[in-house]
């Protein structure tokens, strides 16, 4: 059986109008905000608190492992699709019940972290941060499953775009927002405010429609191993002979971006840009560019199709690293090259966000409604693990090659990925569409 054909969605007169007319789209936006808030507060934002609390740098490095529930979420995703959430499932439905329960877990874990102090009792902070990782990963599983199942395949580009915009807003709030609150009122207040800001996402889960579930299929008897294997088997069966190249494409698609991102901030520091310069350009300016790229991706996919947009995304995403290579050669702050810095970061940020939303939409179209959460969790883990492993060698590569040739190399990594994408598109175009 061939890979499913992805058809362009019917054109809408406006990208913005459905946000106000369709409660599914509005709910997707606010559920995305909640998903975007949890991950930075586990490690990235919290690492500032840990550093100021005097936690040894090697210990802070090991605490990156608190984010691993996000890499392993495919292991428990199938059980969230087969069983109702305690108490809430019978009331709200399976998907919304798990969403709301995970949101409560996120808010509770954030409050727990707030009442700890890593300077005096690091074990407390680690325990609640691990709980936050599990709750946040569960939230991602259930929100992604809901997002995919609640709309038709043709509507996925629109839903994915608004959900991604929400995620980026949540990530900005949990990053820059939490740091601002912490600077003014302390870390306890920052984490309590972040817990309170989960409320709009909780309301969205309450008001969102529940997707239909094939109860007979969902409740078919299965043992532990079969429950985990069922979504994988279904995905491989539906993709047929194209399963291996498609999964390799997914695994490699963001690999250049993961490797490049690992050394971006060290490059900026080496070029003598201040923390304020980096925060302003990368976080604030980069945020708005990412929003624009997400809108562009959502606009292009229904008009030219998913595979052409995917090919453009991987070529654009990888080629953009050449801007960082140019910055490494000619962008020293002391040489008055501030605008070179701005332009280079802008190109890379826009391309990264565009490639991300296209990949999210593509992976969403490959899932089945019954196993949407499990299959999407599996594919996101497939995206993250190879890139993270290769990124661990990025410091060694920079030491051997220098920053400029390193970023040229990350662009070159994208060439075989682009060729594979073109081949998959060509193969699918030559085969009869699946019924």
The DSSP 8-state label assigned to residue 223 in this structure reads: -
How many CB atoms lie under 10 A from the CB of residue 76? 17
Of the candidates 247, 236, 260, 239, the one whose C-alpha atom is nearest the C-alpha of residue 420 is 247
Of the candidates 317, 277, 282, 324, the one whose C-alpha atom is nearest the C-alpha of residue 421 is 317
Using a CB cutoff of 8 Å and minimum separation of 24, what contacts does 177-186 make? 178/40, 178/41, 178/45, 179/45, 179/48, 182/48, 182/49
Tokens in use for 370?
């019954």
| Domain range 15-220, CATH architecture | Up-down Bundle (1.20)
Rg of the chain over Cα atoms, rounded to whole angstroms, equals 21
How far is residue 161's CA from residue 139's CA, in Å, rounded to a whole number?
18
How far is residue 82's CA from residue 94's CA, in Å, rounded to a whole number?
8
Quick check: 381 and 78 in contact, CB under 8 A? no
Domain boundaries, the chain: 15-220, 223-434
Question: Could you tell me the CA-to-CA distances from 398 to 88, 151, 319, 406 in Å, in that order?
Answer: 50, 44, 18, 6
| Polymer length in residues for the chain | 435
pLDDT the model gives residue 223: 63
CATH of domain 223-434: 1.20.1250.20
pLDDT the model gives residue 9: 44
How do the residues of the chain divide into helix, strand and coil, expressed in percent and rounded to 5?
80, 0, 20
pLDDT the model gives residue 337: 87
How far is residue 25's CA from residue 9's CA, in Å, rounded to a whole number?
15
Given this chain, do its domains 15-220 and 223-434 carry the same CATH topology?
A: yes
pLDDT the model gives residue 110: 97
Tokens in use for 341?
């810095």
pLDDT the model gives residue 247: 95
Give me the average pLDDT of each 10-residue run along the chain (435 residues): 44 66 92 94 83 80 81 89 88 93 97 93 94 96 93 88 92 87 90 97 94 61 72 91 94 87 80 79 86 91 92 94 94 85 93 93 89 89 82 81 92 94 91 55
Question: Could you tell me the CA-to-CA distances from 104 to 44, 67, 76, 84, 390 in Å, in that order?
Answer: 22, 19, 18, 16, 35
The DSSP 8-state label assigned to residue 116 in this structure reads: -
């Amino acid at each position: 059986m061939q890979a499913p054909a992805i058809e362009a969605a019917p054109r809408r007169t406006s990208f913005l109008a459905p946000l106000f007319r369709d409660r599914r789209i509005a709910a997707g936006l606010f559920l995305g905000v909640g998903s975007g808030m949890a991950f930075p507060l586990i490690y990235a934002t919290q690492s500032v608190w840990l550093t100021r609390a005097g936690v040894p740098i090697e210990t802070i490095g090991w605490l990156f492992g608190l984010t691993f529930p996000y890499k392993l979420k495919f292991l428990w995703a199938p059980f969230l699709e087969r069983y109702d959430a305690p108490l809430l499932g019978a009331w709200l439905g399976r998907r919304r019940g798990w969403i709301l329960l995970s949101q409560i877990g996120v808010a509770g874990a954030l409050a727990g972290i707030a009442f700890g102090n890593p300077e005096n009792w690091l074990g407390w902070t680690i325990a609640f941060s691990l709980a936050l990782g599990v709750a946040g990963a569960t939230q991602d599983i259930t929100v992604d499953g809901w997002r995919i199942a609640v709309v038709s395949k043709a509507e996925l580009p629109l839903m994915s775009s608004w959900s991604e915009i929400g995620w980026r807003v949540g990530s900005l709030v949990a990053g820059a927002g939490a740091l601002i609150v912490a600077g003014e009122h302390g870390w306890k207040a920052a984490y309590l405010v972040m817990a309170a800001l989960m409320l709009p996402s909780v309301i969205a889960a309450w008001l969102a429609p529940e997707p239909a579930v094939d109860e007979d299929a969902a409740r078919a008897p299965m043992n532990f191993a079969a429950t985990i294997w069922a979504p994988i088997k279904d995905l491989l069966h539906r993709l047929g002979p194209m399963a291996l190249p498609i999964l390799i494409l997914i695994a490699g698609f963001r690999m250049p971006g993961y490797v490049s991102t690992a050394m971006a901030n060290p490059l900026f520091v080496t070029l003598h840009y201040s923390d304020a310069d980096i925060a302003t350009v990368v976080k604030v300016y980069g945020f708005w560019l990412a929003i624009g790229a997400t809108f562009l991706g959502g606009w292009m996919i229904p008009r030219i199709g998913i595979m052409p947009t995917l090919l453009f995304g991987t070529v654009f995403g990888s080629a953009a690293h050449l801007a960082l290579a140019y910055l490494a050669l000619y962008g020293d702050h002391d040489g008055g090259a501030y605008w070179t810095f701005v332009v280079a970061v802008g190109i890379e940020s826009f391309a990264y966000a565009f490639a991300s939303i296209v990949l999210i939409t593509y992976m969403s179209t490959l899932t089945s409604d019954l196993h949407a959460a499990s299959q999407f969790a599996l594919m996101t883990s497939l995206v993250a693990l190879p890139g993270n492993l290769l990124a661990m060698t990025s410091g060694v590569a920079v030491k051997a090659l220098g920053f400029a040739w390193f970023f040229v190399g990350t662009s070159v990594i994208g060439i075989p990925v682009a060729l594979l994408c073109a081949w998959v598109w060509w193969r699918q175009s030559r085969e009869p569409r699946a019924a």
